[in-house]
Structure 1
Amino acid sequence: MSFPITRHRRLRRTAGLRNLVRETQLTAHDFIYPLFVTHGSGVKDEIPSMPGVYHFSLDLLQAEVEAVVAAGVQAVLIFGVPDRKDASGSSAFDEEGIVQQAIRAVKAWAPQLVVVADTCLCQFTDHGHCGLIHHDAHSGAAEVDNDPSLQLLVRTAVSQAQAGADVIAPSNMMDGFVAAIRDGLDEAGYDMIPIMSYSVKYASAFYGPFRDAAHSTPQFGDRKTYQMDPANSREALREAESDVVEGADMLMVKPALAYLDVLRMLKEHFDLPVVAYNVSAEYSMVKAAASNGWIDERAVVLETLTGMKRAGADLIITYHALDAARWLRGE
């Protein structure tokens, strides 16, 4: 018998010993902080379903960017809430669109920040879907038209790169989107701009608060024809492999918390950095429980983020980023 020769508690006896043998290290450099930017002035409106997360107009965004830098977080993810929408989402690729303006502003205020641009159409279309809509001539049914949508996504990505984005993060889940965007960026002279692909994006119930934040709820139907079935995991490998072949530089799993097994699968099968998106409902559930005194917010957040990193995430997109970075510093 091994006991009492083997005593696993020996290395847990003090904080110093636990620190020495800790297998997973979480730091502020692991985080990407999402920002929601909108038109107007004097706007800092808290999103009702996401306490502590705001819509910012550009004139009030600088203070938040300065807070990001002060916290030691090195990257932000820009989402735009436009003042106009149409069937093609044309404000997504407008040179003076809200995302493009925000990218230029953030790079002027904090050149060292890595600015990631979400590349999709859903916030900008009047129907709320991630591509152009095609109506079947016989049935009249509406569906997202994959290949024509790619052209608009390329235009969006190039306009974001022109504005100064360091990373393009396409989230639309159209087939062939990585190849199309990679070709478009290369042809436009942005061959060194990496693509952080939303490779494995599930048709999840965990996006509800985000749709409140981004004003991107579909006006009809749902996104189950292009986002993944939550019941599938092997399909995730096929999706990710396609993106690798097409030229992705990073692979994302979204959401994170209910899909840690998928994170691990991607980590084991591919040698690209893996990104976890700690999505809006995951954030809001913690906030709601903490506000009721049911949980220790700090402890739960750090444990959750550590679990995502332990499962295989190299980077974590999280609305907790600023708080978590400060907590890790002991503040």
Structure 2
Amino acid sequence: MTSLLEKPASPGHGDAFTRHLYTMRYSPERGWYDGSLRPMESLSLHPATIGLHYGQVIFEGMKAFRQADGSIAVFRPWENARRFRRSAARLAMPELPEHLYMAGVDQVVAADQGELSDHPDHSLYLRPLMFGTDVNLMLRPSEDYRFLVLAFTAGGFFGDEVRPVSVLICRSQSRAMPDGTGDVKCAANYAPSFVAQRQAQEAGCQQVVWLDSAERRWVEEMGGMNLFFVRGSGPDAEVSTTPLTGTLLPGVTRDSLLRLAARLGHRVSERPVTVDEWRAGCGSGEITEVFACGTAAVLTPVGTVRDGDRGDWTVGDGEMGPVTRTLRQALVDLQHGRAADPDGWLHHLR
């Protein structure tokens, strides 16, 4: 399918925006109102907008994929809609009904689906967003809100070729703490992680691995992605991930992979792992593969780990392992409509 707009062969990730924007407003008196699809435009905000000052901002990330028959479908958007409601509740914001969330998603996808090529590695990344719009600097929740849905065409998060990444264990900072906001998708979770991410890059790594805030020994997440560990090999390999303790984001891709791995015959588990166990497991050969997953990154293998003066180690042979490769292909085939969808995860435009 030919794109309606001229786009680069590789759209990258994050700036190839499409031509439309969905917007809707909320007030206590009117509820949700004035939902409409508009041309992509800049926002005009008063400098005292509450969301800018006190972080009353939540968002989601999901993708639409070109299907084998040329149509387009969004992957598990209802799960994102439910998580969006949980995030709103945590930040004292009005919960957006799921059918209104989906109305905005559907309108943007319908309007801009022609901008997505049939390249198998490209997708339409959707970003629903809500923020407080009151013009008032009193330290309180906003009363009025704005909901937006925008989109961009996306290639690979780490580039066009899927290659193992190197990671740095972060022991000086934490991404989240118990009873905080680590399990919801709010804007305030992300800027504090930039310093550690920069330190990882300065150490020659592409990503940072977060540990628990209490003991700094339990593995939690990689950047903004969930981590998986593979023990053993072949059909008998166990695929495990860190349990949801309240400090981790319950990823939609994470849940999908747990189900896909079980469907492929693997033993699956949710169990904690320490950095020392990770290092020892790779040294003994018990841990054969490690990968991270998320909407943007899909499945990304971890090849090497750096842990400051505690030393570095390699996962397996440093390359993408067979279990990771098989799971990634199973997920991508399902997202593109090349495999069966027994759970109804694909939301097709009507």
- Answer whether TM exceeds 0.5 for this pair: no
Q: TM-score, normalised by structure 1?
A: 0.26
Q: TM-score, normalised by structure 2?
A: 0.25
